Amino acid sequence: MTEFSYEFTRAITRLPAHSIVNGLRAEDLGNPDHAQMLRDHAHYVATLKEAGASVTELPAVEAYPDSVFVEDVALCLPEVAILMRPGALSRLGEVGEIAPVLRDVYDQVLEIKGPGFIEGGDILTTSTEILVGRSARTDKAGVTELAEIVGQFGYQLREVMTPEGVLHFKTDCSLLDAETILSTRRLDASGCFENYHVIHTCEGEEAAANTIRYNRLVLMPAGFTGTRDRLLEAGYEVREINNSECARLDGGMSCLSLRF
Ligand code: CIR
């Protein structure tokens, strides 16, 4: 059986624009270096390919500084893609950029029409349910609208809460396999993963929580050796990718692609 939550054949990425220096961030740690970001992005795409992905690499869109973070503008399920409605107003227009790409690939593309807001970074699809964290970007109306849409396809959606001060639900967690979640302790403490086996990020390595499982590989940000060793001990095949520049904009591994 295919585990649709981490066994994929395709991915969509978008090159970082020079306007990335105007990207949103919770705290200003200085602007990302575009040249370094391009190198990291190339490594990321190459690693997706190593994992077996056929990658659609989209050109940069200067009008949208955060458009490299394609995950936030759509939810890709096996039978349908759903266009999101970002809670960050500067990102609303990114939906129109990704829509034609998804319409080329999917027979069915639906959309969150509003008035609610929801971003893909708040959505964790597991093999049994779709978890959605309410956050500063995702509100109750957005979650309710998504629940109605995915319900038509037989998916169970469960609403949870993203911890205060954390950008997205998946900033603090990721799926490792059908039963296993990598999570920060602060998120796991909310009780949202009771039915899963949870591996915690190491103390001080909360930024390692946002990884992606793509077929046999786990892509994780480089530099979090304690958490990396936990994943290796648990038997996962890990690839580390430099994330220093994306991290300045609160971005990580999952944000950089749509996977299906
Ligand atoms: C933003 O604030 O929207 C971007 N600077 C970062 C988005 C990261 N996306 C994600 O975690 N899925």
Ligand 1 nearest atom to the CA of residue 23, by list position? 5
Residue 243 is classified by DSSP as: -
| Cα dihedral: 43, 244, 162, 167 (round 10) | -110
Give 197's pLDDT tier (boundaries 50, 70, 90). very high
Which residue's CA is the nearest one to ligand 1's atom 8? 251
Residues with CB under 6 A from ligand 1: 23-25, 66, 69, 71-72, 88, 91, 121, 167-168, 171, 249-252, 254-255
Is-catalytic flag, 41?
A: no
Write the pLDDT tens digit of every residue in 69-127: 999 999 999 999 999 999 999 999 999 999 999 999 999 999 999 999 999 999 999 99
Half-sphere exposure of 187 (CA within 13 A, CB side): 32
Is the predicted pLDDT of residue 61 greater than 80, yes or no? yes
Which residue's CA is the nearest one to ligand 1's atom 2? 24
> In the prediction, which pLDDT does 1 show?
56
- Structural tokens at position 66: 């955060």
Write the pLDDT tens digit of every residue in 64-85: 999 999 999 999 999 999 999 9
Which residue's CA is the nearest one to ligand 1's atom 7? 251
Q: CA 47, CA 197: separation in Å to the nearest integer?
A: 26
CA of 173 to the centre of ligand 1 (A): 14
Write the pLDDT tens digit of every residue in 223-235: 999 999 999 999 9
Q: CA 152, CA 50: separation in Å to the nearest integer?
A: 34
The predicted model gives 55-66 an average pLDDT of 98
Is the predicted pLDDT of residue 153 greater than 60, yes or no? yes
The predicted model gives 163-187 an average pLDDT of 97
Pocket test for ligand 1, best of 255, 257, 258, 259 (most atoms within 8 A of CB): 255
> In the prediction, which pLDDT does 110 show?
98
Please provide residue 14's backbone torsions phi and psi, each rounded to the nearest 5 degrees. -135, 135
- Spatial CB neighbours of 154, under 8 Å, sequence gap ≥ 6: none
Give 164's pLDDT tier (boundaries 50, 70, 90). very high
- Structural tokens at position 85: 């409605």
Ligand 1 nearest atom to the CA of residue 249, by list position? 5
> In the prediction, which pLDDT does 184 show?
98
Which residue's CA is the nearest one to ligand 1's atom 3? 24
Give 217's pLDDT tier (boundaries 50, 70, 90). very high
- Residue 136 contacts residue 122 (beta carbons within 8 Å): no
Average confidence score pLDDT of the chain: 97
Provide the β-strand partners of residue 253.
Answer: none
Q: CA 242, CA 37: separation in Å to the nearest integer?
A: 9
Please provide residue 146's backbone torsions phi and psi, each rounded to the nearest 5 degrees. -65, -40
Domain residue extents for the chain: 10-259
Is-catalytic flag, 168?
A: yes
The predicted model gives 19-42 an average pLDDT of 97
> In the prediction, which pLDDT does 30 show?
95
Largest CA distance in the chain: 46
Provide the β-strand partners of residue 12.
Answer: 56, 258
> In the prediction, which pLDDT does 181 show?
98
| CATH number for the domain running over 10-259 | 3.75.10.10
Give 39's pLDDT tier (boundaries 50, 70, 90). very high
Please give the span between the terminal C-alpha atoms of the chain, in angstroms, as a whole number.
15
Provide the β-strand partners of residue 182.
Answer: 174, 199
